[in-house]
Amino acid sequence: MQYAVFCGSNSGHSDVYREAATALGQELAAQGIGLVFGGTSQGLMKITADAVHAGGGKIHGIIPRSLMRKGGVYENLTIAEEVETRADRKLRMAEAADGFIAMPGGIGTLEELFEMWVNAQFEGHHKALGLYNVNGFFDRMLAFLDGMVTEGFLPPQQRGMLISASAPSVLIEKMQAHQPVNVSKWL
């Protein structure tokens, strides 16, 4: 089993994010869950990968060719897979991962998470979608999503596809207990 982790190529301003990235990586390794990620040696991505590596876990980096040329590829990859574009990277991450976790990051992190969520709706994958809500980082987004339900733009069952927790062990436990939602009736 391996989970794709989407997170910042930056580390954020607070140590809480770096500590959370370490905690997630440690939990993945402790549970024997491999890491699939963008393969770079920057920000929260590197910190998470360092913790997985220190715990003896497997690390699958999927890196676009343009980033590979620039250097900065994470040095302790179990599998280094080069792809042509960012779009190819997301496709390969979706194929390689058994579930997805988003932790604090920027617009790229959100784009990756939402693409996997939309893919679940349209392509019908049944993989768990986790939100590692470190320090309440995603609280406003979760409230916005709840507002979409209230206003009739997001079915409650589809909103329920996004699992959220502030502790990695709880998040992984919820993801492993995940029951797929039949979204075909909303299309």
Residue 128 phi/psi, 5-degree rounding, is -70, 140
**Percent with pLDDT over 70 in the chain:** 97
Q: How many domains does the chain have?
A: 1
pLDDT in tens, 89-120: 999 999 999 999 999 999 999 999 999 999 88
Question: Does any domain span residue 183?
Answer: no
Helices (H), the chain: 15-30, 43-54, 65-70, 86-96, 107-122, 139-150, 156-159, 168-176
Question: Does any domain span residue 182?
Answer: no
Domain of residue 92, CATH code: 3.40.50.450
Per-residue model confidence (pLDDT) at position 184 = 60
Q: Which residue has the higher pLDDT, 181 or 110?
A: 110
What's the mean per-residue pLDDT of the chain? 92
Question: Does any domain span residue 87?
Answer: yes
Question: Does any domain span residue 187?
Answer: no
Question: Does any domain span residue 58?
Answer: yes
Range of the domain at 58: 9-177
